C-alpha cells in the first residue's frame, strides 16, 4: 500500500545518507540562548542548594537546623545582599536594573561562600561548598554573558564585599552563615522567575543549516 511505499522510500534514503554532502548544524550565539542557559543553571543551583543548606545547617547544629528557627536579621547580616524587596517594586525595574542587581548580589554572595569553604569542619562539606562555589561562579559569568548579549554594561566597582570582619563569638558567626544561606535561597528562587520571564521576551537563537560544499 501507500504506507509501505513511504516506509521503503525512507529506508532507502537513510541507507544512502553517507553519500550525501554533510550537513553542519550551527546555532548562532545570541541573547535567547544565553538566557536559557542562565535559567537552567539557576534552577540547577536551586536544587543543589537545598541539599547543601540542609547539610550545612546540621553542621551548625541547634537551633539553626530546627525547621521553625526564624531569628530576626542582625545588623551584621546586612552585609549580605538582601533579596527581600517588594515583588511589585522588583518587577517594576527595567531588565537592565534587575540583571545588574543579580550580578552584584551573586558576586558578593560568592565571596562569602568562598570564606565558608575554608572554615567548614568536615572534608565532605568543604568539597560540597567548593563545588557549589564553582557553579555559582558559572552563574555570575552567565549573567555577565546575558547582559553583554543584550547590550547592557556590567555594574562598575569591585565585587569584594565591604566589612568582612570576623564575628565576635561562635553564635554570631553561625548566625552570619545562616543568613547567607537563607538569602541565597531567596535570590535563586527570584532569579529563576526573572530569567523565565526574560526568555519569553527574547526570541530563541536561530538555528541554521549549512551545506558543506565538498568540491562542488
Read off the pLDDT band of 135 (50, 70, 90): very high
Fold entry, domain 31-201 = Growth Hormone; Chain: A; (1.20.1250)
> Higher model confidence: residue 74 or residue 19?
74
**Structure confidence at residue 198 (pLDDT):** 93
The pLDDT of residue 29 is above 80: no
Residues 6+ apart with CB under 8 A from 167: 76, 173, 175, 176
Residues 6+ apart with CB under 8 A from 116: 56, 129, 177, 180
Cβ atoms of 69 and 63 within 8 Å: the answer is yes
Q: What is the mean pLDDT of residues 80-109?
A: 88
Q: Is the peptide bond before 63 cis (omega within 30 degrees of 0)?
A: yes
**Structure confidence at residue 204 (pLDDT):** 62
Provide the grid cell at 212: 558543506
Q: What is the mean pLDDT of the chain?
A: 77
Q: Which residue has the cell 500500500?
A: 1
Could you report the per-residue pLDDT of 37-80, keeping only the tens digit for each? 999 999 999 999 999 999 999 999 999 999 899 887 766 656 77
The pLDDT of residue 148 is above 80: yes
% residues pLDDT > 70 (the chain)? 71
Question: Could you tell me the residue ranges of all domains in the chain?
Answer: 31-201
Read off the pLDDT band of 144 (50, 70, 90): very high
The pLDDT of residue 168 is above 80: no
User: For the ranges 99-103, 107-111, 167-171, which has the lowest average pLDDT?
Assistant: 167-171
> Higher model confidence: residue 208 or residue 98?
98
pTM confidence score: 0.75
**Structure confidence at residue 3 (pLDDT):** 45
Amino acid at each position: 500500500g501507500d504506507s509501505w511505499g513511504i516506509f521503503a522510500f525512507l529506508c532507502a534514503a537513510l541507507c544512502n545518507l553517507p553519500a550525501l554532502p554533510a550537513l553542519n548544524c550551527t546555532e548562532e550565539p545570541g541573547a535567547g540562548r544565553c538566557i536559557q542557559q542562565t535559567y537552567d543553571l539557576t534552577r540547577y543551583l536551586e536544587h543543589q542548594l537545598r541539599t547543601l543548606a540542609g547539610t550545612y545547617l546540621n553542621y551548625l547544629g541547634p537551633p539553626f537546623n530546627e525547621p521553625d528557627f526564624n531569628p530576626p536579621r542582625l545588623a551584621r547580616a546586612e552585609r549580605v545582599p538582601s533579596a527581600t524587596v517588594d515583588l511589585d517594586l522588583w518587577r517594576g525595574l527595567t531588565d537592565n536594573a534587575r540583571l545588574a542587581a543579580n550580578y552584584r548580589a551573586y558576586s558578593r554572595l560568592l565571596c562569602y561562600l568562598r570564606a565558608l569553604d575554608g572554615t567548614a569542619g568536615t572534608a565532605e562539606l568543604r568539597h560540597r561548598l567548593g563545588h557549589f562555589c564553582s557553579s555559582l561562579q558559572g552563574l555570575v559569568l552567565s549573567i555577565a554573558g546575558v547582559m553583554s548579549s543584550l547590550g547592557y554594561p556590567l555594574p562598575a566597582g569591585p565585587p569584594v564585599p565591604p566589612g568582612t570582619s570576623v564575628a565576635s563569638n561562635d553564635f554570631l558567626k553561625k548566625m552570619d552563615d545562616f543568613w547567607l544561606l537563607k538569602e541565597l535561597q531567596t535570590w535563586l528562587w527570584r532569579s529563576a522567575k526573572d530569567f523565565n520571564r526574560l526568555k519569553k521576551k527574547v526570541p530563541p537563537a536561530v538555528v541554521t543549516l549549512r551545506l558543506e560544499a565538498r568540491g562542488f
